[in-house]
Amino acid sequence: MLTKRIIPCLDVKDGRVVKGINFLNLRDAGDPAETAAAYDDQGADEVVFLDITASADSRDTQLSWVRDVASTLFIPFTVGGGIKTTDDFKAILREGADKIAINSAALMNPDLISDAAMKFGSQCVVVAMDAKRIEGTDRWTVYKNGGRVDMNMDAVEWAIKAEKLGAGEILLTSMDADGTKAGYDLELTKAISSAVDIPVIASGGAGKLEDFYTAVEAGASAVLAASLFHYKELTIREVKEYMKERGISVRL
């Protein structure tokens, strides 16, 4: 059985880690480099760092943040937010990131996925998806600009296309579940993970230990959380021990 990964997410705005509910009402949750170093010490498998307003503000990810965070880590490190070109990929990878997450730019220019995969390898191209259920249906639509703009695009179809273009991984965030602590959107996780062969990281909604387990059972290769870890409601060690007790392969 492949080892399942536990990944803390650092949403960053104006140089600080923040966390909200349904992408709104953001609260300060600490310094990015200090938070990342603490997660490394706790046994996180990876860290994801998202500049959550870069695309909406039409600016690049600030490389100094990437440099500071990367300098503290000995585990894989993904960076996303405001990345529009393969030159952006190159600049961020040079600063120490292992993978690049693209969302809005990939939606507007799908060729960016294939171009980046060709230049840097599929393993470092992560397509991030912010998906919201279409009311009254069993379908989801994809949003760009940090959940601000509905693309009227079917989430499952977009995941399939992203894989065909060369994405190595999908970071799947449920906008409906984000920050609610009511559990991951298992239907969405199952729909996407069963449609593609690449790893799917479930994001949005973790509230208790059981939620991590059920997301993996729904097909997720990795589970991502932010507020639970930031506010020390659960530790990464607790999550991993819970998973191991239930027969899920994790790295302790």
The enclosing H or E element of 195 equals none
Q: Is 11 a catalytic residue?
A: yes
- Name the residue with higher pLDDT: 27 or 91: 91
Residue whose token pair is 């600009």: 145
Model confidence at 22: pLDDT above 60: no
**Which residue in the list 68, 130, 178, 185 is annotated as catalytic?**
130
pTM of the model: 0.92
The enclosing H or E element of 86 equals helix 86-94
Give the tens place of pLDDT for each residue, 142-173: 999 878 899 999 999 999 999 999 999 999 99
**Chain-wide mean pLDDT for the chain?**
91
**Helices 236-245 and 209-217 meet at what angle, rounded to 10?**
50
CA distance 23 to 81: 15
Question: What is the DSSP secondary structure assignment for residue 123, as one 8-state letter?
Answer: G
Confidence class of residue 15 from pLDDT cuts 50, 70 and 90?
confident
Model confidence at 26: pLDDT above 90: no
Give the tens place of pLDDT for each residue, 119-136: 999 999 999 999 999 999
Confidence class of residue 61 from pLDDT cuts 50, 70 and 90?
low
What is the identity of the amino acid at 70?
A
**Which residue in the list 11, 45, 88, 185 is annotated as catalytic?**
11
Q: Which pLDDT belongs to residue 197? A: 98
Q: Is 138 a catalytic residue?
A: no
Give the tens place of pLDDT for each residue, 191-224: 999 999 999 999 999 999 999 999 999 999 999 9
Question: Which of 51-55, 63-67, 124-128 is modeled with the greatest confidence?
Answer: 124-128
Q: Strand pairing partners for 79?
A: 49, 100
Determine what percent of the chain is predicted with pLDDT higher than 90. Answer: 71
Structure tokens at 195: 């449609």
Structure tokens at 72: 């503290």
Cβ neighbours of 54 (radius 10 Å): 22
CA distance 48 to 30: 15
The domain 5-245: what is its CATH number? 3.20.20.70
Give the sign of the dihedral formed by CA 252, CA 51, CA 11, CA 64: positive
Q: What angle do CA 125, 157, 47 make, to 5 degrees?
A: 30
Parse the chain into domains and list their residue ranges.
5-245
Give the sign of the dihedral formed by CA 172, CA 178, CA 180, CA 181: positive
